Structure 1
Amino acid sequence: MSTTPTPTMDAFTLRQRLASPDAPRLLDVRTPAEYAAVHIPGSANVPLDDLPAHGAELRRRLRDDDVVLVCRTGGRAARAERVLAEAGLSGLHVLDGGILAWQEAGSPVARGRRRWDLERQVRLVAGSLVLVGVLGGLAVPALTWLAAAIGAGLVFAALSNTCAMGLLLSKLPFNRAASCDVESAVRRLARDGASR
């Protein structure tokens, strides 16, 4: 099975393209809480988990328009590109380095209430479980298997570029802000493109 590399766009190029008449649309695929904390002005938020259910509608509304996918560092956006490409969208790019690279380049962002991003939450939960497994294993030796299971899960997450723990954490109310309305985001993406 051959895979083609995910098309990327660096922060500098994106900033130049956003100032041009043929500016791409920005689709942020992070959790609503991450998006609410900081995002690129003008971007719309459709979380990665919601993309498969809306792929056909996005294809219909966006057609062959240029769309840049944004996440924290680029990993989730690359997965989103594959999901949307399978749904028939073309003209997709991933912001290389994600919102972190965008901010590092000194590009403008809209800020809301500060929250922990999903990757930081995963590190906290995984580290806590390993600590409980190791320290608890001193009293109950079978608990060391908890630490081993978490370690194996982290290795699998790195090799597969997926994260079951992150997926579970993204379902928590803290990460599912009430302001995320996928239907409105899809309509906004289409409207923004029609006004150019």
Structure 2
Amino acid sequence: MTIKAIAPADARRAVEAGALLVDIREADEHARENIPGAVNVPLSRIGDVAALGRPLVFHCRSGMRTAANAEALKAAAAGSPCHLLEGGIDGWRTAGLPTAVDRKQPLEIMRQVQISAGSLTLIGIALGFLVHPGFFGLAAFVGAGLTFAGTTGWCGMALLLRRMPWNRALQAG
């Protein structure tokens, strides 16, 4: 039996009745925007959830991550009743429910990767046409890196971006 998804309003009622809201996104995502009162337990550490017999409501950004990992989340609940927040934090916000946003936090690492990779690709293509065809190699290198990251789960650009000065607060947390 899979975990049932519940609407944001129902999730809010469950939390008000004592359910624990568990944000399975990574720490950088949670720091930028979160649902007040949600506990951040990234998917990679989901076994650390301590339900203590309380019902659980799991959420991610859009609901895709929780749905894809429903069996692991159910196992982490260790017999406690559990649900998935339909639409994730995006659905919660769309339903007019409050979120805490900290714009001082850097963008999520994966968004930084997407911006960097897209920019480097466009720069490589533009320089390839305008300066020298050898610059097309930059676009090819970035494309190969993204392909490698997608197939292996290891992203060198994400590791590099985590070490940038604007992300240092995330390393300490």
TM-score by length of 1: 0.62
User: What code does the residue aligned with 2:6 have?
Assistant: M
Question: Residues 118 and 12 of structure 1: is their aligned pair in 2 closer, same or farther, counting only changes over 3 Å?
Answer: farther
**Whole-angstrom CA distance in 1 between matches of 2:99 and 2:160:** 22
Task: Answer whether contact 1:39 1:111 (CA < 8 A) is retained.
Answer: yes
Provide the residue aligned with 1:93 in structure 2: 83
Give, in angstroms, the shift of residue 44 of structure 1: 0.8
Q: Any stretches of 5+ residues in structure 2 without a counterpart?
A: none
> SS of the residue aligned with 1:49?
helix
> SS of the residue aligned with 2:172?
coil
Aligned length: 163
Provide the residue aligned with 2:117 in structure 1: 126
Query: Which deviates the most, 85-94 or 9-18?
Result: 85-94
User: What code does the residue aligned with 1:92 have?
Assistant: C
Provide the residue aligned with 1:84 in structure 2: 73
The reply on whether 1:16 has 2:13 as its aligned counterpart is yes
**Whole-angstrom CA distance in 1 between matches of 2:45 and 2:160:** 11
Larger Rg: 2
Q: Any stretches of 5+ residues in structure 1 without a counterpart?
A: 180-196
Which deviations, in whole Å up to 9, do the C-alpha atoms of 1:87-114 show, x marking residues without a partner?
5734332222211211121112234344
**Whole-angstrom CA distance in 1 between matches of 2:14 and 2:68:** 23
Provide the residue aligned with 2:26 in structure 1: 31
Question: Residues 118 and 76 of structure 1: is their aligned pair in 2 closer, same or farther, counting only changes over 3 Å?
Answer: farther
Give, in angstroms, the shift of residue 80 of structure 1: 4.8
Provide the residue aligned with 2:58 in structure 1: 69
Task: Answer whether contact 2:2 2:71 (CA < 8 A) is retained.
Answer: no
**Whole-angstrom CA distance in 1 between matches of 2:75 and 2:96:** 33
> SS of the residue aligned with 1:62?
coil
Provide the residue aligned with 1:50 in structure 2: 45
Task: Answer whether contact 1:81 1:92 (CA < 8 A) is retained.
Answer: no
Task: Answer whether contact 1:130 1:150 (CA < 8 A) is retained.
Answer: no
Question: Residues 77 and 108 of structure 1: is their aligned pair in 2 closer, same or farther, counting only changes over 3 Å?
Answer: same
Greater relative contact order (Cα 8 A, min sep 6): structure 1 or 2? Answer: 1
Which deviations, in whole Å up to 9, do the C-alpha atoms of 1:138-174 show, x marking residues without a partner?
42144442354367569x58xxxx9654993598252
User: What code does the residue aligned with 1:149 have?
Assistant: A
